[in-house]
Structure formats: C-alpha cells, structure tokens
C-alpha cells in the first residue's frame, strides 16, 4: 500500500515576473485607476500572494468616533497593479472598521480578525481564499478588539497579533499567534507596553516582525520600535526614528507599514507629516520623495510583490474628508541585493526544529533568496537525480551543494534536501543566486533530526494530530469530520495506516540524498511507533518509493481502546522523538 506520489500537503505555486522600477529615485505616485473602491477609512489591506492581488475589506465611509462609524462597509476589492475590482463572494463578514488582515502563506489565505460597527466590537476570525470568505471557529481566540496590528511571521509559519483596544477602552499588551485553525496566546518574557493604532510588518531580511508606535494608556503617543523573533519581543534603540505624533488624539492613527521585499526594507508612512521612513533592521532613515500623498489618518498599506510596489489607499485628510485615492511607492532602481538568510529550520510540517540533519529537508528564510516562485518538476531532474540549482538558486552547506526543492520570491524562502555526508556539529549555510552569495548562516547538524508529518492545519482543539492515511490513500486517520473538507475516520485495530517522516537517517540499501527512491528500503536505525504505550507493528519503514527524501511508515494499529485522542510517539534508535502528537482509533 505504499504510495508513489506526495498527496498529503499541496502548495499553490504562482510565478510572478520580476518588475524593474521605472524611476531611479524612490517616490510616491498617484494612480488613476478606471475603477476604485468608495472613499473609506479604518479599512484593512493585505497582499494575497496566491492570487497576486492586494485585498481591501470594509472600513467606514466617515468618522463617527473611535467606536462608531458613519457607516461601516462590508465590500471586498482587489488591486491588480493598475485597477481595482469589486469581488462578489458568496459569503462575507459583516460590515466593520478598525480591523486588520495578514496573508497566511502556509495556508494560502488572507486572515482577518475583529473590528467594530455601530459600537459593537467583534472577535470573529475569517479567511479569504481569493473568491470567498469563510468564518473560522477556533477553540481559543483573542477577546473582541479594534485597532490592533497583525503580520505574518514567515520563519515560524504563524500570523502574529498584538495589542488593540476593547469596547470599554481597555488597551491590550497581548501577543497572539494564528496557526491556520486556532489562536494561541503567547507569554513572552518582554513585551511592548499596551497600545492601539500601531503598525506591524514582517522583515523577511532579518526574520523578525517589526512593531512601531501607536497610542498607549492615557492617550500617550508612542514612537518606539520593537521586534518579535517567534518567542520574545525586543525593543530596538535606533539612532534615528520617526517622531511621535502630536495634536488631536486620532493623530496616533497616522502610521502604516509594509515590507518592500525587492529592497529588503520596511516602508513606514507618517500620514500626519507626509513623511516616508525606511527600516533596515537597526535604524530608521527618512526619505525625500519628490511626491507624497496628502496628509491623512486611518489609511492602510500593503506591499504588492507582483509589481514591486507598496500600495496605499484611502483614509481621512486633515480637514476630516474621507479619501478614496490610490498611491504606490517604488523604492527606486533595484541594486540587485545579494541573498540574506534570516533563519534555517528543519521542515516546519515535520516539527520545525532548530537543528538539522543529513538527508533531511530544511527551510531557509530571508530576503532576496529567489527571483521567482516554484517547486522542482520532473524536467529539473537528471535521470533520478534531483537538481542542485533551481532557476539559478543554489544552497551550500559545509561546502557541499544541497538539492533545491522549492523557491519563493516573497516572502523569501528556499526549501532543500541536505546532502547525505555533511559532518555533524556547527556548519555554515549559504544561498547563491545571480545577484551574489549570502553571508554564511550557522546551523547545528545532528546525525538525525526526526519528525513525523504533522502540519499546523492538523491541530484540532489545541491537539496536534499526525497526518496518517488509510489504505485508500485518500481518507485521513482523524475523528470523523475533524477538518472541514477532508474525508476522515479513526483507524481500526489491525488496519495498516501510512505516515510520513523527515530526518530519520540512512537506509539500506543505501539511497543517497537527492536520489529518487525507486525500490523498497529500510531504516538502518531501529524504529518503534507507539499508540499510547503499545507498539504498532511496522510493515514498512524506509524511504517512500517514487519520492525524494521522504520517509514512509506503514504501521499496523495495535489492539487498544477506542479513543479520539490516542497519544502517538516514536523512538528512533531507542531515543524518543520530540513531537507531542495524537491520532484516533475506534473499532
């Protein structure tokens, strides 16, 4: 029952042409599209990478106080680089303003949370798939809030939410992360002070979420800079920084940010001062564009990767007139920056460990890593040998070439299988493309770094389930109906189910990294898979025939009591794996 193709996780691969900026100096340009959304403020924007469009949802057509809009809107619009188009989804969130959105690259969806309308503040979560909105039902969720900020942390595959305000004026200092199905509150050792109306963006070049400014308690206006590394917040102390807002209290709502991946910089626009600033990972630098949008508050921005532009839309001007204009920021002639690595982890759907191993897949995050987005195809192989270069992108570890499986232009990502004979210990990784070679990035190589396939989308009710298939290679081993749209049922004792792994080490007969597995093999190390405390008989445990570098485990389910939450673990060479996983068994 061993399968010959990978069907557990599919990716939407979209290839965008590299757009070269026409002007030589950074500048804002007023766009005059044929169609455009009605004027609005306090709306949300995000770039939908899967469909190559900037998405706008909701907002209000005027200002009626922080929690009361003149009329909240429930329309969805997309920007294709030259024109706006209104979408007509079958289902849609209710009208709202003061919400935020971010693109979840791991699930190919735009995520939206919260907002308000007519004094009612929401705590609902919705996702946009390019044509329709779907409401999610997470087990845990942030409380109702507005004017918080969100950004997608590519290095850790999570959408990060910070701060915001409640209907009764409470301002939060909470950090939450969204994994595609549930919200989890984090408890970092250090955190920014409570705030609302701040801005956040993911700095791919440095593998960090950047937070700036906002309004704190007692209407304090802020101009501090913080970064999130997936675990903790750290305050940065740049030599230069945008000044704090002044004047009326809503001048705290003057800042928006977006990450310009073409230039490896976070772009910040200060609407009250008509100022544009750039963040390079350590300092803010003010720009001097020839043109700028008129002064405004309550506007929104997103970076359009397909056209290498930051897009700004709407807001309210200094005379409290609601705006419906579109502006784009181009960072000037591209200087073809060399790749820069921000982080390296083992395959995130297989545990995402900070250490790696020979023969295993790893994910490299950073900026300028690739100029397009695609995975390897049959045409890239030489016989049964995987490519070591994909559209000019190469990866080296310990002086040896890795096998390049997948490249992403924005956010920058390269997935590779590591060579079989790299030494253990501290090693250096570099990424090379036509624009140069990155600075070395240090990683720790262990002999094995095993993990079973268990992506964040299989976390149900706060419990992480392993991906396992029944013998039809279609039905998943899960409680029935556990994940909408996926056929599933629990496994029966005596049935053989199939799981997949990464980083389990050498097999016999030897099949080196980068080579298509054309026959059966078996792990050199001993393997035990446990359902609770009971071992399952292994019918097969080696590389999956027809695939490169993916381990396949055919396991006979032991006779154990019915349970939708059976702890599932493994021991490789007598050493327990690090994941906490579950499966479902029912006679």
Note the pLDDT tens digit of each residue in 85-98.
Answer: 999 999 999 999 99
Which pLDDT score, from 0 to 100, does residue 83 have?
A: 97
Per-residue pLDDT tens for 50-75? 999 999 999 998 865 444 446 899 99
Q: Which of 495, 498, 585, 479 is nearest to 550 (CA)?
A: 498
| Strand-strand pairing, 563-572 and 527-531 | antiparallel
Task: Tell me the two tokens of residue 373.
Answer: 């987005």
State pLDDT tens for residues 297-317. Answer: 999 999 999 999 999 999 999
What is d(CA 98, CA 102) in angstroms, rounded to the nearest whole number?
A: 14
What is the full DSSP assignment across 330-357? Answer: E--S---PPPEEEEEEE-GGGT--SSB-
Model confidence at 272, pLDDT cuts 50, 70, 90, reads: confident
Task: Find out whether 194 and 252 touch, Cβ atoms under 8 Å.
Answer: no
- What are the tokens at 248? 């009326």
What 3-state DSSP class applies to 559? Answer: coil
CA distance 555 to 539: 6
SS3 content of the chain, % helix, strand, coil (to 5): 5, 45, 50
**How far, in Å, CA of 11 to CA of 14, rounded?**
9
What is residue 70's predicted lDDT score, i.e. its pLDDT? 64
pLDDT reported for residue 118:
78
Distance (Å, whole) CA 94 – CA 358: 50
Q: What are the residues whose beta carbons fall under 8 Å from the beta carbon of 436, sequence distance 6 or more?
A: 336, 337, 338, 339
pLDDT tier, 220 (very low <50, low <70, confident <90, very high otherwise)? confident
Closest CA to 182 of 119, 229, 139: 139
Percent pLDDT > 70 in the chain is 93
Q: Using the predicted structure, report yes or no on whether residue 446 has a pLDDT greater than 70.
A: yes
Helix (H, G, I), strand (E, B) or coil at 457: helix
**What Å distances lie between residue 517 and 8, 430, 451, CA to CA?**
18, 27, 19
Give the three-state DSSP class for 282.
Answer: coil
**Separation of first and last alpha carbons in the chain:** 21
Apex CA 494: angle with CA 491 and CA 498, to 5°?
A: 55
**Token pair of 362, please?**
């790893």
Q: What are the angstrom distances between the C-alpha of 328 and each of 27, 41, 72, 498?
A: 8, 18, 25, 50
Question: How far apart are alpha carbons 445 and 442 in whole angstroms?
Answer: 10
Find the radius of gyration of the CA atoms of the chain: 25
Query: Quick check: 253 pLDDT over 80?
Result: no
**What was the pLDDT predicted at 24?**
61
3-state secondary structure 289-326: CCCCCCCEECCEEEEEHHHCEEEEEEEEECCCCEEEEE
Of 91, 105, 111, which Cα lies nearest the Cα of 182? 111
- Whether the CB-CB separation of 419 and 358 falls below 8 Å is answered with yes
Q: Please answer whether residues 274 and 315 qualify as being in contact, where contact means their C-beta atoms are separated by less than 8 angstroms.
A: no
Residue 579 pLDDT level (bands cut at 50, 70, 90)? very high
Q: What is the pLDDT of residue 244?
A: 78
**Range of lowest pLDDT (69-78, 340-349, 371-380, 467-476):** 69-78
For 549, counting Cβ atoms within 10 Å of its Cβ (0-12 exposed, 13-18 middle, 19+ buried), the class is buried
Count the neighbouring beta carbons within 10 Å of the beta carbon of residue 469: 20
pLDDT value of residue 254: 80
Mean pLDDT of the chain: 91
What is the set of domains in the chain, with CATH numbers?
A: 27-330 (2.120.10.80), 340-445 (2.60.40.10), 451-585 (2.60.40.10)
Judge contact between 27 and 291, C-beta under 8 A: yes
Residue 518 DSSP symbol: -
pLDDT the model gives residue 422: 97
Asked if pLDDT for residue 252 goes beyond 70, the answer is no
Per residue in 542-574, pLDDT (tens digit) is 999 999 999 999 999 999 999 999 999 999 999
Query: In this structure, what DSSP letter does residue 378 have?
Result: G
Give the pLDDT confidence score for residue 16 in this predicted structure: 29
379 φ/ψ angles, rounded to the nearest 5 degrees: -65, -20
Q: pLDDT at residue 334 above 80? A: no
Provide the 10 A C-beta neighbour count for residue 130.
Answer: 17
Which residue did the predictor score with more confidence, 295 or 111? Answer: 111
Span of 108-117, 248-257, 406-415, 488-497 with lowest mean pLDDT = 248-257
Tens of pLDDT, residue by residue over 202-218, are 999 899 999 999 999 98
Report the pLDDT value the prediction gives residue 338, as an integer from 0 to 100. Answer: 87
User: What local confidence, expressed as pLDDT, does residue 63 receive?
Assistant: 66
Stretch among 51-60, 241-250, 517-526 having the lowest mean pLDDT: 241-250
- Residues 450-509 pLDDT 10s: 999 999 999 999 999 999 999 999 999 999 999 998 999 999 999 999 999 999 999 999
Q: How confident is the model at residue 246 (pLDDT cuts 50, 70, 90)?
A: low
Using an 8 Å Cβ cutoff, are 190 and 234 in contact?
Answer: yes
- The pLDDT value given to residue 23: 44
Q: What is the pLDDT of residue 250?
A: 45
Nearest to 467 by CA among 501, 504, 499: 499
Question: Residue 4 above 70 pLDDT?
Answer: no
């Amino acid at each position: 029952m061993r399968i010959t193709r990978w069907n557990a996780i599919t990716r939407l691969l979209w290839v965008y042409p590299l757009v070269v900026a026409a002007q030589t100096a950074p500048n804002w340009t007023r766009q005059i599209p044929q169609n455009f959304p009605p004027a609005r403020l306090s709306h949300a924007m995000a770039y939908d990478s899967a469909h190559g469009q900037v998405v706008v949802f909701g907002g209000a057509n005027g200002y009626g106080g922080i929690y009361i809009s003149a009329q909240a809107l429930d329309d969805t619009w997309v920007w294709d680089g030259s024109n706006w188009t209104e979408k007509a989804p079958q289902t849609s969130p209710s009208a709202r303003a003061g919400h935020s959105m971010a693109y979840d690259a791991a699930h190919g969806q735009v995520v939206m949370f919260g907002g308000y309308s007519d004094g009612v503040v929401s705590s609902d979560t919705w996702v946009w798939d390019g044509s329709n909105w779907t409401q999610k039902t997470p087990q845990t969720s942030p409380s109702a809030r507005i004017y918080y900020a969100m950004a997608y942390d590519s290095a850790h595959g999570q959408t990060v939410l910070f701060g915001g305000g409640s209907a009764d004026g409470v301002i939060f200092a909470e950090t939450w992360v969204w994994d595609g199905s549930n919200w989890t509150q984090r408890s970092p050792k250090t955190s920014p002070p409570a705030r609302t109306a701040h801005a956040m963006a993911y700095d791919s070049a440095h593998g960090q979420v950047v937070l700036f400014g906002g309004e704190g308690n007692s209407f304090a206006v802020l101009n501090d800079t913080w970064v999130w590394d997936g675990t903790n917040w750290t305050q940065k102390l740049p030599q230069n920084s945008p000044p704090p807002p002044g004047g009326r209290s809503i001048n705290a709502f003057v800042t928006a940010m977006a990450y310009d991946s073409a230039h490896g910089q976070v772009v910040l626009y200060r609407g009250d001062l008509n100022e544009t600033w750039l963040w390079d990972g350590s300092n803010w630098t003010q720009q001097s564009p020839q043109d700028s949008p008129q002064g405004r508050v309550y506007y929104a921005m997103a970076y359009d990767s397909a056209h290498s532009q930051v897009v700004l839309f709407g807001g309210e001007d200094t005379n409290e007139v609601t705006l419906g204009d579109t502006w784009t920021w181009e960072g000037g002639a591209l200087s073809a920056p060399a790749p820069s690595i921000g982080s390296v982890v083992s395959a995130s759907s297989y545990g995402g460990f900070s250490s790696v191993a020979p023969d295993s897949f790893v994910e490299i995050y950073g900026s300028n890593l690739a100029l397009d987005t695609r995975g390897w195809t049959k045409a890239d192989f030489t016989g049964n040998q995987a490519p070591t270069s994909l559209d000019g992108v190469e990866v080296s570890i310990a002086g040896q070439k890795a096998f390049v499986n997948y490249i992403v232009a924005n956010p920058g990502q390269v997935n590779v299988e590591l060579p079989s004979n790299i030494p253990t210990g501290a090693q250096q990784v570099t990424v090379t493309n036509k624009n140069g070679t990155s600075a070395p990035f240090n990683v720790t190589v262990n002999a094995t770094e095993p993990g079973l396939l268990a992506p964040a989308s299989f976390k149900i009710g706060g419990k992480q389930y392993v991906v396992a298939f029944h013998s039809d290679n279609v039905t998943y081993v899960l409680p029935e109906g556990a994940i909408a749209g996926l056929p599933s049922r629990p496994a029966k004792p005596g049935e053989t189910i199939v799981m997949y792994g990464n980083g389990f080490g050498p097999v016999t007969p030897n099949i080196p990294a980068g080579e298509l597995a054309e026959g059966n093999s078996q792990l050199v190390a001993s393997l035990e898979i446990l359902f609770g405390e009971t071992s399952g008989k292994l019918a097969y445990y080696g590389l999956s025939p027809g695939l490169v570098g993916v381990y396949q485990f055919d396991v006979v389910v032991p006779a154990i009591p019915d349970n939708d939450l059976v702890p599932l673990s493994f021991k490789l060479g007598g050493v327990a794996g690090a994941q906490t996983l579950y499966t479902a068994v029912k006679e």
